[in-house]
Structure 1
Amino acid sequence: MQETVKTPLEMLDHWVDVQGDKIYLRQPINGQYVDFTWQQVKQKAQQLAGGLRHLGLKPGDKVAILSKNCAEWFITDFALMMGGYVSVPIYPTANASTISYVIKHSEAKAVFVGKLDYWKDQEPGVGGDILRLAMPYDTMPAQYQWDALLSVGEPLTDYPYPELDSLMTLIYTSGSTGNPKGVMHSYAGFCQTAEQVGKHLNGSSDDRVLSYLPLAHITERTYIQGSSFYIGGTVSFAESLDTFVDDVKRAKPTLFLSVPRLWTVFQQNVIAKIGATKLNVLLSIPILGGIVAKKIRTELGLNHARVLGCGSAPVSPLLLQWYRRIGMNITEAWGMSENCAYATLNYPFQANKIGTVGKAGLNCDVKIGEGDELLFKSPGNMLGYYKQPEATAETFTEDGYLRTGDCASIDADGYVNITGRVKDNFKSAKGKYIAPVPIERKLAQNTNIELMCVIGSGLPHPVALIQLSDAAASADRETIRASLKETMDLVNPTLESHEILDAMVVVSEKWEIENDVLTPTLKIKRHVLEQRFNELVDGQRKAVVKWQDEL
């Protein structure tokens, strides 16, 4: 245990002393940045902490944050640390029932509400008996508005630094298999992990990042917010989905993280503009290929990025190879809420290790346990699940390793290959176990596919459910059918006999967070799709490709 690690509040004081007038946070409002220096962030956090103390909140109280990423989210988090409160982030896309569950389970005494796209739908989940505090955006009604909170009490300037072993935050899992669990992280675990991220990625105060993936998710909290405490770089935010590309270009990120779905959408947009065949030809021409590749990187707003990352769900190696052709080496990484998301990563980038999630990070240890389950240990491992001692005990081995729930193998160089989730594996009608993730990765070579999910519990053979890309969805159906059939005919011979796909079914409804198919981190809820489709697709045979409306 690295007892010398500094808390975020100590680092805030450090950067105020070293570069207090340097811009730390950049919040776009109507297309223009509103900037906050390190000194201003500290001042506002002290004012806010004083306001919370004035309102009667006591050290140790839980305080929820329900908002999209913004400068005020960071300021609120600092204020909660100053007051000795425990932060409880909630996904800004969470539905009312999830919000209600998290607030009640965590026993939050207050909730900050901020940038939200659907606050009228979410408000019933907040309820009327909890203190609501509003960030300065169009959001649900609250007892106190931001400016009033900053002035209602005396600034809290005399506060102790948090004890390293004290509880810092409750990170609720995205709930892909049931109610979310509250993952308890101490200051020691979170801070050591965030510091190691900065070191591993060679971060410095010259780095720029864009914070847009949910801060309620541990990856954004550690890699983007957490590392910023230790490297002293600049953090910009996205204004909205409609302005996202402009937000990226304006931020000029040197470190940029995304998820497989968004990397796929970026790729599909490029192909839709240029055409797959034409792009292949252009990239094959010496000199011209380099010019075209640079133009694409510039159009994406990522021409300044020295580190590109991908995580949270399986990604096709072919997608990463495609980006490599345009000069973008994407580091695949793996982590989870229970280990502060910093676990394995392919950095420094090794092209010959595409398809793995990299090797163990600094002060991290991995090994394979019973049933090929990946076991993990690091200072960032959680304290446990809040109010769930039995689940906590089941999650750790006797020697303190985290049971990750992921099936994996480790090669001779220490690189980890995730082969699926233990709980995702299902048994066919023939009694054979099938791991869907490796099959999905093979199917992902078809760029007409945006999302897919292989199901088949209790069926004779598995079936692949397909969500088409926007371009493919509006193209000629028979052309797309032939393309999908070609892919299935290429993949099936590479599978074991019990894994062979009986069919591909193109779904009618897009998979979204709102229709309960995707988690807030865009993971697919396989059990939900199995419930909705198993009976419908049963009976499809002979590697057919059908649309849902043809069944």
Structure 2
Amino acid sequence: MEFKLPLEQFYHWEKETPYKTYLRQPHRGRWKDLMWIEVSKQVRSMASFLMVQDLPSRSNIAICSKNSAYWVMADLAIWLSGHISVPIFPNISPTTLEILLEHSEVQMIFIEKGKDWEKMKAVFPKDLKKVFLPPHQDKMDLSWEKICSEYRPFNQNIKREGSEIATIIYTSGTTGQPKGVMHTFDSFSYAAKNVLEIINLEGEQHFFSYLPLAHVAERALIEVGSLYINASISFLENKATFPENLRKVQPTIFLAVPFIWESIQTKILQKLPQNRLSFLLKIPLLSDFIKKRLKKKIGFSRVQFAITGAAPINKELLEWYQNLGISIIECYGMTENLTYSHGNLEAPEYFGTVGKPYPHVEVQLASDGEILVKSPCNFKGYFKDPERTLNDLQGSFFKTGDLGETDEEGRLKIIGRKKDIFKTTKGKFISPKNIETPFLKSPLIKQVCVVGNGLSGPIALVVLEEIEHRLPTESIKKELFALKESINQNLQNHEQIEKVIIMKDEWNDENGLLTPTLKLKRTQIENKFKKLFDKWLKDKKEVLYEVD
């Protein structure tokens, strides 16, 4: 099959497979299946509407919504009408939203009335036209359904050039200084073509979309990838229905961040303790039965490729899943290269690395160990920020900000983030990732953030697994003390943890301490608690609660 640009793939499937289900939207426990003929009608009707809005050519149009069929159709309609899509995470703060709306110069926005709508609506410019996506709409709203019922489908197949900007993706860690990463249609096409040549998919493909489509990995793999293999996409209804939706869909490709893999493991071990699971897996005939049953119960009975990315994952966790017959490919990429960089396609061999570079990707290590990547999908610059664009490039190589090392065959191992490294008063640098990794192996701990810049020694801030809070306080302290001592035995003197602090609340995107892709916001965590650091260090106890 010839690989064309994303819009041309849309034209192909609407013509060749009009009655095949493409998008599956859940609502109150029921699924609404949209065939290509229905998707085509709605996309083309919305494109007709956009074309008569008197917008400047190639205007920026935002999408701010949870994942849904309407998100994908809005994106396609924006492209079909000759404009540029600007995804915005639906759970960002109103302050950040206001900054992004101003910086991106969007002329219109597709918006869902989510739980934070009342807070968000106050920051919208009065002249910004809003199209409201289902299901939460009022009669007076300019709604998706109303537009699709009133406008005839646009019946031409316009040609977008590969070199045109298709989208501006704002990085998930955006705060007061937005970085809008510009990508072309060529980049999407190139990434899809080459990744699909690398992996060998068999039969019909079914995707499950639950990570934010505003994030580059979900966008490139799930939305755009579906256009190149005619995969169906089923969407998550809400966080509470994740296990049920995943079991129902049984996807053929599953992409998750490490936090999700850890959460699935925790749920399994709560019902089937590790000792019993290990015993059952040692019994030859029973082992296969247990593996098949667990896969089906999770939602992995059809998974051909399981993928992890966006943050480092413990090697031991990869091995744990491998024992269940689930081989996870650890991938590495950035928003700036459309995640087209590395993948450990040799898994389960070389766990702990992100594998070799994808075809036509070049890698260099700077003198300080920073990873520099030259990818065919490297971005075209930051929107309205040529100075930062030049600063983040070294020639044609992108400066990732990650530290790494390679083996003799080019397999890359990520050591940590350059900006995360800190120095204590002992005058030596410390990479927090090297200390956090062994902490996260403990079944006690759900989250950990090691801090220590300017302190006498590192402090480990830990969030316990929910079930562990039910244990007696002194038992928890005793176990964490033993864990700290065990970890310290394998660390250099200046790296050794002085205190373990048990945090009161979990860190999440709602309290601003995780990014929308569930990565720690280290600066925000440190700033929130730094006034307590000295008090904790002076306390004689080595393990204490935040509110002791």
- TM above 0.5, yes or no, is yes
Classify the secondary structure of the residue corresponding to 1:298: helix
Instruction: Please give the alpha-carbon distance, in whole angstroms, between the structure 2 residues aligned to 1:224 and 1:202.
Output: 16
- Alignment correspondent of 2:117: 119
Shift of residue 170, structure 1, vs aligned partner: 0.5
- 365-374 vs 208-217, which deviates more? 365-374
Classify the secondary structure of the residue corresponding to 1:282: helix
Deviations 1:138-186 (A, max 9, x none): 1589741112211443422224211111111000011266533100111
- Alignment correspondent of 1:253: 251
Tell me, yes or no, if the aligned pair for 1:503 and 1:542 is still in contact at 8 Å: no
Instruction: Please give the alpha-carbon distance, in whole angstroms, between the structure 1 residues aligned to 2:361 and 2:508.
Output: 34
2:270 to 259, 265, 272: 272
1:43-442 alignment, distance < 5 Å: 43-114=41-112, 116-138=114-136, 143-175=141-173, 178-203=176-201, 206-347=204-345, 349-398=346-395, 400-442=396-438
Classify the secondary structure of the residue corresponding to 2:91: coil
Tell me, yes or no, if the aligned pair for 2:328 and 2:348 is still in contact at 8 Å: no
2:439 pairs with 1:480: no
- Aligned pair in 2 of structure 1 residues 462, 139: CA closer, same or farther (>3 Å)? farther
Instruction: Please give the alpha-carbon distance, in whole angstroms, between the structure 2 residues aligned to 1:364 and 1:202.
Output: 20
Instruction: Please give the alpha-carbon distance, in whole angstroms, between the structure 1 residues aligned to 2:285 and 2:455.
Output: 52
- Alignment correspondent of 2:462: 466
Q: What is the identity, as a one-letter code, of the residue corresponding to 2:5?
A: T
Instruction: Please give the alpha-carbon distance, in whole angstroms, between the structure 2 residues aligned to 1:548 and 1:142.
Output: 48
- 239-248 vs 189-198, which deviates more? 189-198
Shift of residue 214, structure 1, vs aligned partner: 0.3
2:514 pairs with 1:518: yes
Q: What is the identity, as a one-letter code, of the residue corresponding to 1:156?
A: F
Shift of residue 382, structure 1, vs aligned partner: 0.4
Q: What is the identity, as a one-letter code, of the residue corresponding to 1:471?
A: I
Instruction: Please give the alpha-carbon distance, in whole angstroms, between the structure 2 residues aligned to 1:17 and 1:156.
Output: 15
Instruction: Please give the alpha-carbon distance, in whole angstroms, between the structure 2 residues aligned to 1:375 and 1:541.
Output: 43
- 229-238 vs 489-498, which deviates more? 489-498
- Alignment correspondent of 2:31: 33
Tell me, yes or no, if the aligned pair for 1:53 and 1:153 is still in contact at 8 Å: no
- Aligned pair in 2 of structure 1 residues 134, 373: CA closer, same or farther (>3 Å)? same
Give the count of matched residue pairs: 545
Instruction: Please give the alpha-carbon distance, in whole angstroms, between the structure 2 residues aligned to 1:55 and 1:204.
Output: 43
Q: What is the identity, as a one-letter code, of the residue corresponding to 2:16?
A: V
- Alignment correspondent of 2:487: 491
Shift of residue 525, structure 1, vs aligned partner: 0.8
Tell me, yes or no, if the aligned pair for 1:131 and 1:143 is still in contact at 8 Å: no
Shift of residue 540, structure 1, vs aligned partner: 5.3
Shift of residue 115, structure 1, vs aligned partner: 6.2
Instruction: Please give the alpha-carbon distance, in whole angstroms, between the structure 2 residues aligned to 1:176 and 1:282.
Output: 46
Shift of residue 245, structure 1, vs aligned partner: 1.2
Instruction: Please give the alpha-carbon distance, in whole angstroms, between the structure 1 residues aligned to 2:422 and 2:503.
Output: 21
Classify the secondary structure of the residue corresponding to 1:9: helix
Q: What is the identity, as a one-letter code, of the residue corresponding to 1:485?
A: F
Tell me, yes or no, if the aligned pair for 2:94 and 2:123 is still in contact at 8 Å: yes
Instruction: Please give the alpha-carbon distance, in whole angstroms, between the structure 2 residues aligned to 1:313 and 1:40.
Output: 37
- Aligned pair in 2 of structure 1 residues 120, 201: CA closer, same or farther (>3 Å)? farther
Deviations 1:262-309 (A, max 9, x none): 111111111111223322322233322332232222221112111111
Q: What is the identity, as a one-letter code, of the residue corresponding to 1:422?
A: K
Q: What is the identity, as a one-letter code, of the residue corresponding to 2:400?
A: T
- Alignment correspondent of 2:530: 534
Instruction: Please give the alpha-carbon distance, in whole angstroms, between the structure 2 residues aligned to 1:179 and 1:280.
Output: 49
Classify the secondary structure of the residue corresponding to 1:256: strand
Classify the secondary structure of the residue corresponding to 1:352: coil
Tell me, yes or no, if the aligned pair for 2:250 and 2:296 is still in contact at 8 Å: no
Q: What is the identity, as a one-letter code, of the residue corresponding to 1:363?
A: H
Q: What is the identity, as a one-letter code, of the residue corresponding to 1:377?
A: K
Tell me, yes or no, if the aligned pair for 2:243 and 2:298 is still in contact at 8 Å: yes
Classify the secondary structure of the residue corresponding to 2:419: coil
Q: What is the identity, as a one-letter code, of the residue corresponding to 1:444?
A: L
Deviations 1:109-148 (A, max 9, x none): 1110126333223222334331010112115897411122
- Aligned pair in 2 of structure 1 residues 327, 170: CA closer, same or farther (>3 Å)? same
- Aligned pair in 2 of structure 1 residues 101, 176: CA closer, same or farther (>3 Å)? closer
2:495 pairs with 1:505: no
Instruction: Please give the alpha-carbon distance, in whole angstroms, between the structure 1 residues aligned to 2:124 and 2:243.
Output: 32
Tell me, yes or no, if the aligned pair for 2:421 and 2:432 is still in contact at 8 Å: yes
- Aligned pair in 2 of structure 1 residues 115, 232: CA closer, same or farther (>3 Å)? farther
- Aligned pair in 2 of structure 1 residues 345, 115: CA closer, same or farther (>3 Å)? farther
Classify the secondary structure of the residue corresponding to 1:88: strand
- Alignment correspondent of 2:450: 454
The alignment's TM-score, normalised by the length of structure 1, stands at 0.95
Instruction: Please give the alpha-carbon distance, in whole angstroms, between the structure 2 residues aligned to 1:361 and 1:140.
Output: 48
Shift of residue 97, structure 1, vs aligned partner: 1.1
Tell me, yes or no, if the aligned pair for 1:455 and 1:534 is still in contact at 8 Å: no
Instruction: Please give the alpha-carbon distance, in whole angstroms, between the structure 1 residues aligned to 2:174 and 2:497.
Output: 24
Shift of residue 85, structure 1, vs aligned partner: 0.7
Tell me, yes or no, if the aligned pair for 1:204 and 1:232 is still in contact at 8 Å: no
Classify the secondary structure of the residue corresponding to 2:26: strand
Shift of residue 541, structure 1, vs aligned partner: 7.7
- Aligned pair in 2 of structure 1 residues 204, 44: CA closer, same or farther (>3 Å)? farther
Q: % of aligned pairs identical? A: 34
Tell me, yes or no, if the aligned pair for 2:425 and 2:457 is still in contact at 8 Å: yes
- Aligned pair in 2 of structure 1 residues 541, 6: CA closer, same or farther (>3 Å)? farther
Instruction: Please give the alpha-carbon distance, in whole angstroms, between the structure 1 residues aligned to 2:288 and 2:277.
Output: 12
Q: What is the identity, as a one-letter code, of the residue corresponding to 2:354?
A: V
Shift of residue 59, structure 1, vs aligned partner: 2.9
Tell me, yes or no, if the aligned pair for 2:94 and 2:120 is still in contact at 8 Å: yes
Q: What is the identity, as a one-letter code, of the residue corresponding to 1:490?
A: S
- 517-526 vs 283-292, which deviates more? 283-292
Unaligned runs of 5+ in 2: none
Tell me, yes or no, if the aligned pair for 2:179 and 2:383 is still in contact at 8 Å: yes
Shift of residue 542, structure 1, vs aligned partner: 8.5
Tell me, yes or no, if the aligned pair for 2:27 and 2:237 is still in contact at 8 Å: yes
CA RMSD of aligned residues (A): 1.9
Unaligned runs of 5+ in 1: none
- Aligned pair in 2 of structure 1 residues 271, 401: CA closer, same or farther (>3 Å)? same
Q: What is the identity, as a one-letter code, of the residue corresponding to 1:507?
A: M
Tell me, yes or no, if the aligned pair for 1:503 and 1:540 is still in contact at 8 Å: no
